[in-house]
Structure 1
Amino acid sequence: MIERLAVGRRDFVAGAAMLSAAASAGPALAAADNGAGIEAPWTGGGRIVRAGGVIQYRTLGPDAGKPVVLLPKVGGWIADWRHVAPLIGARHRVIAMDLPGHGGSEWLGPPPHVQTVAESAAIILAALSDLGVDRFTVAGNSLGGVIGVTMAARYPERVAGVILASVSLFAGQTRAALDAVEEARDPAVWTDDWRPLPRTMEQVSRFGTVDPRIEAEQNASRAKADRWVRPSERGVALTDTAALLAQTSAPALLIYADRGYYTRYVAVGRKARPDATIIQIAGAGSFVHQEKPAETAQAMLDFLGRRS
């Protein structure tokens, strides 16, 4: 079913002060959040040692609340979720994690040619086990959502629910097809050794956001992830996310905008999971949780409330 979203509930009062502080900080907060300290709106966090590196995480909300794990996009970082987290954290235990090689999650040595989605999912699951989180709802944008779908399909005993916020439900491609595409590398986006270059609003407006503040932050987070961006993208390209979603059984919420690149996946999601709740938020682009955080949080709270 597809729902149109209306906002305006008292559930948001508890998180309003923290949301206001995070919003006023802007991209500068995002950069600071990847340091050693704990920045608003987060109230806890740390680093978990895994083989080959560390996973950085941040927490918010009551320890007794049902866990909701937030995963960022490819080339993103924890702070992508900073406007949504306080609104969810008023009632749930929120755990946001930087993906391998992204943000403050640092890995030793150079990245592999392909960072597989299955490998990243296993690393995140192991880190959650170290935190004593055995069962949780996972919410992810872009790569974070693909990882969430992979978790839900392969480890159903761990995933109580899956929330996808602007996620590509790509059918996947072969390694040969991927290699052929890479021969047409865009020199305006990538260096010759596949390091991401800053992107202009003109470059991203057809795919990403029309908000220059969000794009400025994304350029900063992509620069932080550096050579891990393209290997992570390759992992997504080689993954049949649509088929994995069809294999999931946990309750599912799919959140998309009403325009832009990702709208093509609304029909794919409906076919893969006819029982899923699908919401389209008006006036957003590819990053609904950053562009429309209040509406995104409300959709998540409604979904989580139905499962209580």
Structure 2
Amino acid sequence: MNYVEVSGARIRYHETGPAGGPPIVLLHGIGRSLEDWELQHSRLPSTHRIISLDMPGFGLSQRLAPVISLGSLADGVWATLSALSVDRPADLMGNSLGGAVAMRMTVDEPDRVRTLTLVNSAGFGRTVTAALRILALPGVGRPLLRRMADPRIARRTERSIFFDGALVTRERIETAVKIARQPDFAAVYLQAARALGGVWGVAPAWRRELLPQVARLEKPTLLVWGSRDLILPSAHLAAARLAFPSAQSHLFPDTGHMPQIERPDEFAALVRPFLEAY
């Protein structure tokens, strides 16, 4: 893994493929890291410059903004890509929170985006796991987030992500614990969660504003979901199809919140022709 300095902050990234190739940018979810896209680096087109990164404040990256919001995360990713001299329109792929960030990035800098792949993305419904909603309760969020550094809690969290329990490996638990022990983990996680919603679920205001803005840009879009997602239920896919009626879509059976991990070969086989078509 490598680091790049962006406005005085160290941002962690992983890059494969030719430096001059068309860029694919891979964005993770809340409280997560670039490891969630590790399996796709060897499966996506080798002709492309594939970049996964810890969004500012998440993973092992330092924060760029004093307050974390969808806009600040989008700005931070664009600043990171500029620091990496990404000067061609990018194929953005975002999982969960990363999908919402990818959409915000598209609205903010439409000429820098070629396609959108939204994977179990936030933004298409109110319903979200109770584990995120209770963070909004006064005095509850920070103590709960500090407990995520406990390997037993980390195991439970990882188990909620995958339909296949065999994917809850020691390596994934160790990575989750390492990330949860970062100094800003709880503060950044809590700010991001509260920016997107609260005790009643994902807030409607930012979704109602953002989705029509993205739709008007008519970027080629692929919607991907896992049928057994416990974080953002697969019913959200129907809302995503309504929001983006021209988008392609696919529902993976017996798959949880991260199809790019749980169905790595099938996910790449789905994405590759989508990218080649544009």
Give the TM-score, by structure 2 length. Answer: 0.79
1:221–1:253 distance in 2 versus 1, CA, 3 Å: farther
Whether 1:150 aligns to 2:104 is yes
1:179–1:263 distance in 2 versus 1, CA, 3 Å: closer
Do the aligned residues in 2 keep the contact of 1:148 with 1:162 (CA within 8 Å)? Answer: yes
Secondary structure, aligned partner of 1:64: coil
Shift in Å, 1:286: 0.9
**Pairing of 1:98-247 with structure 2 (within 5 A):** 98-107=54-63, 112=66, 114-134=67-87, 135-170=89-124, 182-183=136-137, 191-192=142-143, 194-197=145-148, 198=150, 199=153, 208-210=161-163, 211=165, 212-213=168-169, 216=173, 219-220=176-177, 222-225=179-182, 226-227=185-186, 228-237=188-197, 240-241=206-207, 243-247=209-213
CA deviations on 1:110-167 (whole Å, 9 max, x unpaired) are: x85x510101100110111122213211111111111001111222111111111111
CA distance in 1, matches of 2:105, 2:147: 28
What amino acid sits opposite 2:275 in the alignment?
Answer: L
1:179–1:145 distance in 2 versus 1, CA, 3 Å: closer
Do the aligned residues in 1 keep the contact of 2:39 with 2:264 (CA within 8 Å)? Answer: yes
**Residue among 29, 33, 44 paired with 1:88:** 44
Whether 1:292 aligns to 2:263 is yes
The aligned length equals 252
What amino acid sits opposite 2:63 in the alignment?
Answer: W
| Equivalent residue number for residue 64 of structure 1 | 20
CA distance in 1, matches of 2:178, 2:211: 28
Question: Which is further off, 256-265 or 209-218?
Answer: 209-218
CA deviations on 1:64-103 (whole Å, 9 max, x unpaired) are: 3210001111111111111111111523110111111122
CA deviations on 1:175-211 (whole Å, 9 max, x unpaired) are: xxx999722776xxx5538535243666665x52243
CA distance in 2, matches of 1:185, 1:203: 21
Percent pairwise identity = 27
Moved segments of 4+, more than 6 Å: 178-181
Do the aligned residues in 1 keep the contact of 2:125 with 2:236 (CA within 8 Å)? Answer: no
Do the aligned residues in 2 keep the contact of 1:146 with 1:241 (CA within 8 Å)? Answer: no
**Pairing of 1:243-282 with structure 2 (within 5 A):** 243-248=209-214, 249-261=218-230, 262-282=233-253
Give the TM-score, by structure 1 length. Answer: 0.72
Gaps of 5+ in 2: 127-131, 198-202
| Equivalent residue number for residue 254 of structure 2 | 283
Whether 1:97 aligns to 2:43 is no
CA distance in 2, matches of 1:224, 1:79: 16
Do the aligned residues in 1 keep the contact of 2:124 with 2:237 (CA within 8 Å)? Answer: no
CA distance in 1, matches of 2:16, 2:181: 24
CA deviations on 1:249-273 (whole Å, 9 max, x unpaired) are: 2111111012234302111111110
